[in-house]
Amino acid sequence: MQWSEWKAKLQERSERIVQNCRELAKRTIEQTSAYVQTHKKQTISVAAGLVFTVAAGASAQYYYSSNILSVYHVLVNGQEIGVVDNPSVVKNWTSAKLEEEKAKNGLSLTLADYITYKEERTYKAPFDNEAALSALSDIADIKVEAVKLVVDGKVIGYAADQNTAEQVLAHVKEKYSGVPQADKKVAVAAASLSAPAKSSPIKEVTFKEEVQTESDSVTAAQVLPAEKLEELLEKGTFKQMTHTVVEGDCIGCIAKKYDITSNDIYANNPGVTENTVLQLGQQINVTAVRPLVTVQVKEELSQKETIAFSTQINNNDKLPKGETKTVQEGRDGSKMVQYEVTKENGQVVDRTIVKQDVIAQPVAKIVERGTKVIPSRGTGRLSWPAGGYISSGFGTRWGRMHKGIDIAGSGSVLAADNGRVKFAGWDGDYGKAVIIDHGNGMETLYGHMSTISVNVGDVVAQGKKIGNKGSTGDSTGVHLHFEVHQNGRIQNPMRFLK
């Protein structure tokens, strides 16, 4: 028989006994009254019997009433786990349990399960305090008061308290901003810190994601130390994964297997590059670092920058085509530029010009470009190829033919007429020499030069500088040896010089 059925029958029997006693007393009084009227002599004895009967009923009523007790059904989250004689039995046990757990981890604790009591008054109600506490001990869920860190609506982890959570967030920001944040308050809704001092270029340090902190009750094992929570935010994990190289492995293959990039592998494994030859059995760190928060730092930077000068080109129809002449040298200008630079986890993602002030305007370089077309055919009338005096003329000299004239002294060597450079270089006894074909059967030779400033194929105009006098080859001093050849025959240059 179930306890509830037995209890109901017991209560029903007790109530029936009391009711019978009441009915018996009532009938006794009625009978006694009638008997007194007819048998007055027997009144005293009958009254005594009546008193005894009533007393017996009252005694039964008192016994029943004195055994009506209050017991308390203990319910955890609405489910009954036992019966106690007083709620203090459970309350004292929970207090002791929380103090015991608190002494172990030093955190504020709470019993997460909701304990309620339901009172019952009944005849000789049964209870078992020890059984109730034993059942409670089996299911009691001891939790700690903690602060959960939520990023974009997702719970990332739990800190011991609000202060620890704020310090963790501040340290993460400090890592990428370089500005101490530990004593600043975290604005939970925007996850933003106060602006740094005016002397700092950093104007704002925020989290790109929505970061919030909320109070919660969790098991003590879920609460992370500050350094672990910080590591989790920065890396996305604190579980390191390794891969053992097997035959056929390559960096790209390994990266694909673990859903990471080759760059992740290079970053995790110093010394490993795209040219590294993997060895069988080699351990490769394949941990995917994926920060859970993005520290966004905005800086205002001012720097002096150069304004490059422009080049202006003007045509000059008096300057031979292909030649240029600088009329005005260019000069760079300068300006002060203020930028707003945005960095995310230390990497620049945006750079915007806020304002710029010109300090010095640039000066344009002006160049004249020759447009005059120079014919490669000579005029037949030669101009003097150099300044100076004739130190040796055309004709026989020292028992042999001197094929040209020598113009003594230093200075530039000029083309005697329009033409095309046929030769430019070393020519035996002539030393450094140039030969110009004037396109009309005439060629001129310039010998013993110290430098040559034209190349074979160049078209030169009459009077164009082709080099400098020298004393190269078979020469006794600085001078220019000048020859004229017409239709393959040596000619006296004096016949053609104007």
CATH code assigned at 470: 2.70.70.10
Query: What H or E segment, with its residue span, contains residue 45?
Result: helix 43-66
pLDDT tens digit sequence for 94-148: 888 778 777 766 666 676 677 889 998 887 778 999 998 888 877 777 777 889 9
CB-neighbour burial class of residue 484 (10 A; exposed 0-12, middle 13-18, buried 19+): buried
**Is 384 within the bounds of a domain?**
no
Specify the number of domains making up the chain: 6
**What is the pLDDT at residue 393?**
94
Q: With contact defined as beta carbons under 8 Å apart, do 158 and 216 qualify? A: yes
Domain identity same for 62 and 75: no
Q: What is the mean pLDDT of the chain?
A: 83
Domain identity same for 166 and 105: no
Q: Is a pLDDT exceeding 90 seen at residue 444?
A: yes
**Is 97 within the bounds of a domain?**
yes
Domain identity same for 362 and 411: no
**Is 292 within the bounds of a domain?**
no
Helices (H), 260-373: 262-268
Q: How would residue 50 be classed by pLDDT, with cut points 50, 70 and 90?
A: very low
Domain identity same for 393 and 489: yes
Domain identity same for 163 and 208: yes
Over range 280-296, report the average pLDDT.
87
Can you say how many angstroms the Cα of residue 307 is from the centroid of all Cα atoms in its chain?
Answer: 33
Domain identity same for 311 and 324: yes
Domain identity same for 398 and 471: yes
First-to-last C-alpha distance (Å) of the chain: 150
**What is the pLDDT at residue 214?**
93
**Is 293 within the bounds of a domain?**
no
Q: Is a pLDDT exceeding 60 seen at residue 301?
A: yes
Report which of residues 379 and 312 the model is more confident about: 312
Q: Is a pLDDT exceeding 90 seen at residue 13?
A: no
Residue that finishes a domain, picked among 140, 169, 185: 140
Domain identity same for 303 and 368: yes
Domain identity same for 62 and 74: no
Q: How would residue 426 be classed by pLDDT, with cut points 50, 70 and 90?
A: very high
Q: How would residue 51 be classed by pLDDT, with cut points 50, 70 and 90?
A: very low
**Is 36 within the bounds of a domain?**
yes
**Is 61 within the bounds of a domain?**
yes
* Across 167-181, 453-467, 472-486, least confident range: 167-181
Over range 367-382, report the average pLDDT.
86
State the DSSP string of 434-489.
Answer: EEEE-SSSEEEEEEEEEEE---TT-EE-TT-EEEEEB--SS-SSSEEEEEEEETTE
Q: Is a pLDDT exceeding 80 seen at residue 244?
A: yes
Q: Can you give the pTM of this predicted structure?
A: 0.45
What CATH number is given to the structural domain containing 252?
3.10.350.10
Q: Is a pLDDT exceeding 80 seen at residue 440?
A: yes
Report which of residues 320 and 89 the model is more confident about: 89
Domain that holds residue 61: 3-66
**What is the pLDDT at residue 179?**
67
Cα–Cα distance for residue pair 231/235, rounded to 1 Å:
6
**Is 350 within the bounds of a domain?**
yes
Residue that finishes a domain, picked among 66, 81, 107: 66
Closest CA to 437 of 486, 481, 497, 496: 486
**Is 397 within the bounds of a domain?**
yes
Domain identity same for 106 and 128: yes
Residue that finishes a domain, picked among 216, 235, 254: 235
- The alpha carbon torsion through 408, 412, 413, 419 (nearest 10 deg) reads -160
Over range 190-210, report the average pLDDT.
67
Q: Is a pLDDT exceeding 70 seen at residue 2?
A: no
The sign one gets for the Cα dihedral 104, 110, 113, 117 is positive
Q: Say which residue the tokens 């009144």 belong to.
A: 43
Q: Is a pLDDT exceeding 80 seen at residue 321?
A: no
Domain identity same for 53 and 76: no
